[in-house]
Amino acid sequence: MTAHCILLPGLLCDEAVWSAQVEALAARGVACQVPDYGELDSLQAMARSVLEGAPAERFALAGHSMGGRVALEVLRLAPERVQRLALLDTGIDPLPAGEAGERERARRMEWLGIARERGMRAMARDWARGMVHPSRWDSPVFESILDMLERKTPAIYEAQIRALLGRPDARGVLAGLQCPVLLGCGRDDTWSPPVRHEEMQALLPGSRLVLIEHSGHMVTMEQPRAVCDALLAWMDLQAGA
């Protein structure tokens, strides 16, 4: 029986964010799918779309960044369909109340304004500097990330911002999981830092936490081999076989 894995991209990302992992999993006989959310503007709608387009009744599910939050909504809707879960550089808390939440909202709206006025690449060049390890600024990997973000439109960006600002509290979903869980994070991720993933692991004592060295938030592209090895182990496949 063919194993199936759905790999969920994060904010403004597409299949390029998972390209190395798709190749590694496919080489071990795993059928992979990377969904596109289009202009859906809620995590719940994205999750329903993932379930409707799933290639099999049951599947492994991995999410990076916003994709991790979508993955948790998939589990909220249909936990019986998910065989195992990987959450990379993500979080489970809702938008903070008060000043902290307003700061996040204002910053996201500022980036959206740049995207509308000066184009997606101009916005991406500013935003992505906080997403990767500083040693990768203006590197080929950085330019690949900019290329990916530029493929999206301000309308898609606005929809996904709306989804993130409306994100629900997912602590209850995470704490109730029964399937094997991998938690992964770039050691130098300042957007979704390791401490957040340690808190998530505390809710799931049986989960595995992997910190990827010399990487920021865009871990699947910054350190593709390390992420591939972690996912192959999570899928019970032998890395390097």
What is the pLDDT of the chain when averaged over all its residues? 95
Q: What integer is the mean pLDDT of 149-159?
A: 98
Domain ranges of the chain: 3-96+168-234, 98-161
pLDDT of 93 strictly over 80: yes
CA 35/CA 9 separation, integer angstroms? 8
> What is 3-96+168-234's CATH number?
3.40.50.1820
Angstrom distance (rounded) from CA 40 to CA 121: 22
For residue 211, what are the β-bridge partners? 185
Tens of pLDDT, residues 35-56:
999 999 999 999 999 999 998 9
125 pLDDT above the threshold of 90: yes
pLDDT at 1: 66
pLDDT score, position 240: 43
Percent of the chain with pLDDT over 90: 94
Side-chain half-sphere exposure of 130, counting CA atoms within 13 A: 10
pLDDT of residue 238: 53
Spell out the alpha helix ranges (H) of 130-189.
Answer: 140-150, 154-165, 171-175
pTM of the model: 0.96
Contacts of 173 (CB under 8 A, 6+ apart): 72, 73, 75, 76, 92
Q: How far is CA 5 from the centre of its chain?
A: 14
pLDDT of residue 237 exceeding 80, the answer is no
Pick the more confident residue, 237 or 154: 154
